[in-house]
Structure 1
């Protein structure tokens, strides 16, 4: 009988191959380009508002787009919350529903004519700028991917300022 000491041990547990770390948890080039492309509708709305001040098309489009993006940002935070373990998930999910709820409230105020469109644009633009406070916390806590603030700061400032400017042009 041939005795091999290695055969007396249990077979080794398979080890999952290591995942490549390049590009995981980082903002890539495509999302960055697409993020900046997302400013184009608000640039167009602001241009229409400036070139044709008698028309409501620019301000109304800017209002709709800012409302859409502000709600979208809440959706991103919701996604971050769902990726967390139970610790902190509820708190982040609660924060995530704030932008869409506030956006719905501003929409209600605007369509019921409680606030004029120009003020609604300023409110939405200010809301977009305020999202940077949450984004900063997400980045500091390691919840957001690397490069998050490098992308979010210019995009939020760009969209927020364009929306507010459109409000002043209305």
Structure 2
């Protein structure tokens, strides 16, 4: 029995049958840019003693979130009411592999973190291509691209900016 005083509308579904993203998910998505902004700020404004810490945090956060995004893609494919195309399964593991591979220079004492941050920044920004393909395949909820575009470009851009600071500051 419904409460007549309850003014909250039940979420509607689009043609895919998926519910729209809740406002909380959208807000938390944007809030997810704040740690990367703070890491960039620490690298740029924290002084020489905090620079490497800021860059390391920027790398770690970018790698973590990029890997998480691959898991989201896997979950969209796994939860789909239709059989997901094979390419989605492959695309969904690539972010973790790219993130791990971009840590290789650090692991072997090479030039790090600048080049790794640049690779991650570009990869994250380009992830919108996969999000768009998922949307075209009917596997994403309504407003997915409206959220993913600014988040991919935002996190990718902040990560790229962190990497570029290593070139500007030496």
Q: Quick check: TM above 0.5?
A: yes
Residue of structure 1 in register with 2:89 after alignment: 93
- Structure 2: runs of 5 or more not aligned: 1-9
* Pairing 1:162–2:162 present: no
Question: Is the contact between residue 113 and residue 163 of structure 2 (CA under 8 Å) also seen in structure 1?
Answer: yes
Question: Is the contact between residue 55 and residue 162 of structure 2 (CA under 8 Å) also seen in structure 1?
Answer: yes
* Pairing 1:149–2:145 present: yes
* Pairing 1:114–2:141 present: no
Secondary structure, counterpart of 1:160 in structure 2: helix
Q: Distance in 1 between matches of 2:22 and 2:84?
A: 26
Q: Distance in 2 between matches of 1:73 and 1:166?
A: 20
* Pairing 1:39–2:33 present: yes
**Kindly tell me: are residues 84 and 91 of structure 1, through their superposed partners in 2, closer, same or farther at Cα, counting changes over 3 Å?**
farther
Secondary structure, counterpart of 1:105 in structure 2: helix
**Alpha-carbon offset, residue 140 of structure 1:** 1.6
Residue of structure 2 in register with 1:130 after alignment: 126
Match of 1:22 among 9, 12, 16: 12
Residue of structure 2 in register with 1:9 after alignment: none
Q: Distance in 1 between matches of 2:104 and 2:47?
A: 24
Give deviations 1:30-69, integer Å, cap 9, x for gaps.
0010001100100100111110352211100000000000
**Kindly tell me: are residues 126 and 117 of structure 1, through their superposed partners in 2, closer, same or farther at Cα, counting changes over 3 Å?**
same
* Pairing 1:65–2:61 present: yes
CA RMSD of aligned residues (A): 1.8
Which protein has the larger Cα radius of gyration, Structure 1 or Structure 2? 1
Q: Distance in 2 between matches of 1:159 and 1:139?
A: 20
Give deviations 1:129-150, integer Å, cap 9, x for gaps.
1110000111122111110010
Question: Is the contact between residue 78 and residue 84 of structure 2 (CA under 8 Å) also seen in structure 1?
Answer: no
**Alpha-carbon offset, residue 86 of structure 1:** 7.1
